[in-house]
C-alpha cells in the first residue's frame, strides 16, 4: 500500500515530466467508476485514465468506436468523485477531435463537466494540428501511438505496430511530432519493447506503456484486466494481479509496486 496516499500532494501535469527526469516510474490504471477509483487512489496510483475502452469493458461493445463524448463525460465525472491524488485523464472518443474546433469544445466538456485534468487522443499527422490548438488553449494533452484502437479497421484488427525498419522509423517520427506539437505525455500501445525503449530515450515527455516493454517511463493497465475479470481472450500484456491475493486493494498495490520496481512488465508481457 502506498503509505502517503491520503496526505501526498495531487499529481500534476508538470510532475509527470519531473518523474521522467528523476527516473521514477509512473503508475497508471484505466477505470470507470467512483468505487474502483477510490481503490486506485488508496493504492497510490499516479495517473488514472477514463478510456474509451469502456465501450468494450463496460458496455459490451465489440470496439471502442461507438463510445460518445457523453459516455466519457459521465464516467469521468464518476471517477473524479473517487479520486484525491492521481492525475485524471479522459479519452476523446472516435471522431470527437476531427478538427481543432470540435476537439476544443469536447475537451472543454471533459475538463469542466467531467473533472479531468488532461485529455488523450490517438494518432499523429493531422492530429498534431489538433494537439497544437489544444495546447495553445491550455488544455493538457496525452498522445497515443502504436496500436490505436480507434484505427482498428485500418489495421485489420488489434495488431502490434512498429515491426520492421520502415514501420519503426515512422512510429518514432510520429512520437517526435506529437511531442513537438505540444503533447505532455505519450501512451505507447503494443509496440516492440526495443522500439519503445528507443522512443522513451529520445523524448522529453514521459511515455506510458501497455504492451511496450519495461523501459517506458510508466505503465498502464485496464483495472478489469489486472483483476482478471475481463471477458474474452487475454492480451499478452495483461497480468492477473488478483491471483494469489485476497483483495482488490492488495492486487492494485501489487501492480503499483511491480511497476515502480521495474518488475512489470516482464519479457513475457512484451513484444
- Neighbouring residues of 121: CB distance < 8 A, sequence distance ≥ 6: 91, 92, 97, 103, 127, 130, 131, 141, 142, 143, 144
Task: Cell numbers for 262, please give them.
Answer: 521495474
Q: Are strands 218-222 and 141-146 parallel, antiparallel or unpaired?
A: unpaired
Question: Which one of the listed residues 42, 122, 189, 258 is annotated catalytic?
Answer: 189
Phi, psi (rounded to 5 degrees) for 62: -85, -10
Q: HSE on the CB side for 138, CA within 13 Å? A: 0
**In sequence order, what are the residues at sequence separation of 6 or more whose Cβ sits closer than 8 angstroms to the Cβ of residue 240?**
226, 227, 228
Cis amide leading into 265 (omega within 30)? yes
Residue 189 annotated in active site: yes
The alpha carbon torsion through 76, 216, 226, 57 (nearest 10 deg) reads 40
- Cα angle 155-159-160, degrees, rounded to a multiple of 5: 120
Closest CA to 264 of 223, 209, 224: 209
The set of catalytic residues is 189
Amino acid at each position: 500500500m502506498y503509505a502517503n496516499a491520503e496526505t501526498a500532494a495531487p499529481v500534476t501535469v508538470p510532475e509527470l515530466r519531473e518523474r521522467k527526469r528523476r527516473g521514477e516510474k509512473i503508475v497508471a490504471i484505466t477505470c470507470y467508476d467512483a468505487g474502483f477509483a477510490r481503490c486506485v487512489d488508496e493504492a497510490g496510483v499516479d495517473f488514472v485514465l477514463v478510456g474509451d475502452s469502456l465501450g468494450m469493458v463496460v458496455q459490451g461493445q465489440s470496439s471502442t468506436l461507438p463510445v460518445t463524448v457523453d459516455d466519457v463525460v459521465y464516467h469521468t465525472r464518476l471517477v473524479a468523485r473517487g479520486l484525491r491524488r492521481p492525475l485524471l485523464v479522459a479519452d476523446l472518443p472516435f471522431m470527437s477531435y476531427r478538427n481543432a474546433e470540435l476537439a476544443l469544445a469536447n475537451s472543454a466538456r471533459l475538463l469542466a463537466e467531467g473533472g479531468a485534468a488532461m485529455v488523450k487522443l490517438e494518432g499523429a499527422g493531422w492530429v498534431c494540428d489538433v494537439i497544437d490548438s489544444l495546447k495553445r488553449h491550455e488544455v493538457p494533452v496525452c498522445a497515443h501511438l502504436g496500436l490505436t484502437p480507434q484505427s482498428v479497421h485500418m489495421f485489420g484488427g488489434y495488431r502490434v505496430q512498429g515491426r520492421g525498419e520502415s514501420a519503426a522509423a515512422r512510429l518514432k517520427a510520429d512520437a517526435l511530432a506529437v511531442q513537438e506539437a505540444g503533447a505532455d505525455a505519450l501512451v505507447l500501445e503494443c509496440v516492440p519493447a526495443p522500439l519503445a525503449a528507443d522512443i522513451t530515450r529520445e523524448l522529453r515527455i514521459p511515455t506510458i506503456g501497455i504492451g511496450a516493454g519495461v523501459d517506458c517511463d510508466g505503465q498502464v493497465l485496464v483495472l478489469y484486466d489486472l483483476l482478471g475479470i475481463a471477458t474474452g481472450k487475454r492480451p499478452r500484456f495483461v497480468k492477473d494481479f488478483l491471483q494469489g491475493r485476497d483483495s482488490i486493494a492488495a492486487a492494485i498495490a501489487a501492480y503499483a509496486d511491480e511497476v515502480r520496481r521495474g518488475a512489470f512488465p516482464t519479457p513475457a508481457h512484451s513484444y
